[in-house]
């Protein structure tokens, strides 16, 4: 890594650290200072969970092939938070994943959710399913379509790195009249999710489940930090664009030489 990249990385990390800490402090002190903008997918989750409880069916969360230890580690942690929040609310949850590294994490989260609700006796390891397969695997998608029927799930939340094969899962969910919320870090998968899912999370929205579904100040602080960084980025892009076009525009208007 060259010195410039190191310098920029350190600056970005320091800036992020500052905004995350400050965001958490502000969110803790004044809860309504930064109201969260409504996201339809998060608004739909309580409804999906309520429907599942009434029908005595599980809510299905799939993390696809995201796992710990690779480039998707942080996405996995964010998706796992979504699973935890769903498990906290739903009477029965089902998780599917193709990367085995998420198994210990999700076992712990599911057990913790049951402990939190004083229903540890209902914890069952079989609610976590490992379907071994490769990256963006059609076999994994096929396994999910079967699971939706066999387990009679009420709704599915698909997160992670799905590709076009997500269409098979969402199509199966639609045929079985099951709700669906989907998102993918892969752009093909994101387009499929937008077209076919009941609700969609786009880009950074899938990282903020904790803030939207819990009342945790630190999680809300992370959203404040994310928004602050986004505005800084927009500001930076505008400034650099103006700098880049200043010379050509000046030459065009006043004549260059």
Stretch that binds other proteins, among 25-33, 34-42, 50-58, 143-151 (CB under 8 A): 143-151
Which residue, 126 or 257, is less far from other proteins as judged by CB? 126
How far is Cα 18 from Cα 16, in angstroms, rounded to an integer?
A: 5
Minimum distance from CB of 197 to other proteins (Å)? Answer: 9
Q: Pick the binder of other proteins from 187, 242, 244, 245 (CB under 8 A).
A: 187
Give the shortest CB-53-to-other proteins separation in angstroms: 20
Site mask for other proteins (CB under 8 A), range 196-235, x = bound: x-----xxx-xxx-x-------x---x--xx--xx--x--
CB of 203 to other proteins, least distance (A): 4
Among 118, 150, 243, 257, binds other proteins (CB under 8 A): 150
Residues of span 22-61 touching other proteins by CB under 8 A: 24
Q: Give Dmax (Cα) for the chain.
A: 81
Contact residue for other proteins among 64, 170, 173, 181 (CB under 8 A): 170
Residue 229's contacts (CB-CB under 8 Å, 6 or more residues apart) are: 15, 16, 19
User: Which is closer to other proteins, CB of 211 or CB of 251?
Assistant: 211
Residues 159 and 183: their CA atoms lie apart, in Å, by 5
Q: Which of 1, 30, 177, 257 binds other proteins (CB under 8 A)?
A: 1
Closest to 160 measured CA to CA, from 246, 101, 90: 101
Cβ nearer to other proteins, comparing 115 with 251: 115
Q: Give the binding range for other proteins (CB under 8 A) out of 18-26, 33-41, 48-56, 242-250.
A: 18-26
Instruction: Give the binding-site size for other proteins (rule: CB under 8 A).
Output: 75
The Cα–Cα gap between 59 and 148 comes to 10
Q: Which of residues 78-137 bind other proteins (CB under 8 A)?
A: 78, 80-81, 84, 100-101, 103-105, 108-109, 112, 115-116, 125-126, 128-130, 132, 137
Find the shortest distance in angstroms from Cβ 154 to other proteins. Answer: 15
Residue in 33, 195, 244, 245 binding other proteins, rule: CB under 8 A:
195
Q: Which tokens go with 230?
A: 């986004």
Shortest separation between residue 50's beta carbon and other proteins, angstroms: 21
174 binds other proteins (CB under 8 A): yes
């Amino acid at each position: 890594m060259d010195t410039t990249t190191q310098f920029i990385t350190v600056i970005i990390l320091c800036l992020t650290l500052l905004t995350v800490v400050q965001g958490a402090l502000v969110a803790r002190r004044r809860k309504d200072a930064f109201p969260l903008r409504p996201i339809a997918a998060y608004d739909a989750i309580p409804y999906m969970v309520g429907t599942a409880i009434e029908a005595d069916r599980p809510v299905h969360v799939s993390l696809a092939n995201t796992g710990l230890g690779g480039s998707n580690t942080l996405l996995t942690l964010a998706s796992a938070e979504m699973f935890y929040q769903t498990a906290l609310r739903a009477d029965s949850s089902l998780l599917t994943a193709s990367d085995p590294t998420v198994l210990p994490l999700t076992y712990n989260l599911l057990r913790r959710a049951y402990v939190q609700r004083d229903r540890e006796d209902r914890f069952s390891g079989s609610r976590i399913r490992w379907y071994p397969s490769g990256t963006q695997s059609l076999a994994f998608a096929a396994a999910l379509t079967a699971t939706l029927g066999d387990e009679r799930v009420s709704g599915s939340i698909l997160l992670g790195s799905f590709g076009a094969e997500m269409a098979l899962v969402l199509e199966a969910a639609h045929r079985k009249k099951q709700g669906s919320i989907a998102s993918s870090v892969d752009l093909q998968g994101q387009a499929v999710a937008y077209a076919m899912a009941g609700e969609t999370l786009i880009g950074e929205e899938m990282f903020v489940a904790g803030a939207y579904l819990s009342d945790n100040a630190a999680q809300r602080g992370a959203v404040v930090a994310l928004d602050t960084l986004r505005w800084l980025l927009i500001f930076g892009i505008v400034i650099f664009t103006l700098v880049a076009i200043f010379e050509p525009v000046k030459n065009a208007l006043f004549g260059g030489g």
